[in-house]
Amino acid sequence: MLIPIHSADSASLIHLREHLLAEATPGSRVILDLKAVEKLTSLEAALLLRLVIEGKKKNLEVRFSSLSLEAQQAFTGLETNMLTDGATAAEDLSPVEEVGEQTLEFVAAGRRLLDLIGELTYWLVIAPWRGKGMKWDRTLEQITKVGIEGIPIVTFLSFLIGAVLALNSASQLRQFGAAIYIANLVGVSMTREMAPLITAIIVSGRSGAAITAELGTMVVSEEVDAMRTMALSPGRFLLLPRVLGLLCAVPCLTILSNLAGIFGGYWIGVILLGLGSRNYLQQTAQALLISDLITGMVKSVVFALLIGLVACYRGLYVQGGAEGVGTNTTASVVTSIVLCILADALFTTIFFYFE
Partner 1 sequence: MTTLPDTPYVQVENLVARYGTRTILDGVSMTARRGEITVILGGSGCGKSTLLRHIVGLLTPAAGRVLINGQDIHQASEDEQEVILRNLGMSFQAGALFNSMTLEENVALPIIEHAKADAATATTLARMKLSLVGLGHAGHLLPAEISGGMKKRAAVARALALDPQLLLFDELSAGLDPVTARELDELILRLKMQLGVVILIVTHELSSIQMIADQAVMLHAGKVIASGPLADVRALEHPQVHAFFDRQPRPVTMQQALLQTLLVNGES
Length of the chain: 355
Least distance in Å: CB of 12 to partner 1? 19
5, 33 Cβ separation under 8 angstroms: yes
Using the minimum distance from each CB to partner 1, give the nearer residue, 65 or 282. 65
111 belongs to the binding site for partner 1 (CB under 8 A) = no
Angle at 16 between CA 13 and CA 21, to 5 degrees: 125
127, 244 Cβ separation under 8 angstroms: no
317 belongs to the binding site for partner 1 (CB under 8 A) = no
223 belongs to the binding site for partner 1 (CB under 8 A) = yes
Residue 20's Cα: distance from chain center in Å? 45
Among 12, 50, 64, 160, binds partner 1 (CB under 8 A): 64
Q: Which stretch binds partner 1 (CB under 8 A): 67-75, 267-275, 301-309, 310-318?
A: 67-75
228 belongs to the binding site for partner 1 (CB under 8 A) = yes
- DSSP states of 136-188: HHHHHHHHHHHTGGGHHHHHHHHHHHHHHHHHHHHHHHGGGT-GGGHHHHHHH
Using the minimum distance from each CB to partner 1, give the nearer residue, 225 or 323. 225
What is the per-residue binding string for partner 1 in 70-99, x denoting contact by CB under 8 A? --x--xxxxxx--x----------------
Using the minimum distance from each CB to partner 1, give the nearer residue, 88 or 171. 88
Using the minimum distance from each CB to partner 1, give the nearer residue, 98 or 222. 222
The single-letter DSSP state of residue 130 is: G
What is the per-residue binding string for partner 1 in 37-56, x denoting contact by CB under 8 A? ---------------x----
226 belongs to the binding site for partner 1 (CB under 8 A) = yes
CA distance 93 to 99: 9
Buried b (16+ CB within 10 A) or exposed e, 305-320: bbbbbbbbbbbbbbee
31 belongs to the binding site for partner 1 (CB under 8 A) = yes
CA atoms within 13 A on the CB side of 41: 8
Binding residues for partner 1, how many (CB under 8 A)? Answer: 28
231 belongs to the binding site for partner 1 (CB under 8 A) = yes
Q: Is 231 exposed, middle or buried (0-12, 13-18, 19+ CB in 10 A)?
A: exposed
Residues found near partner 1 in the complex (CB under 8 A): 31, 52, 63-67, 69, 72, 75-80, 83, 217-218, 221-223, 225-226, 228-232
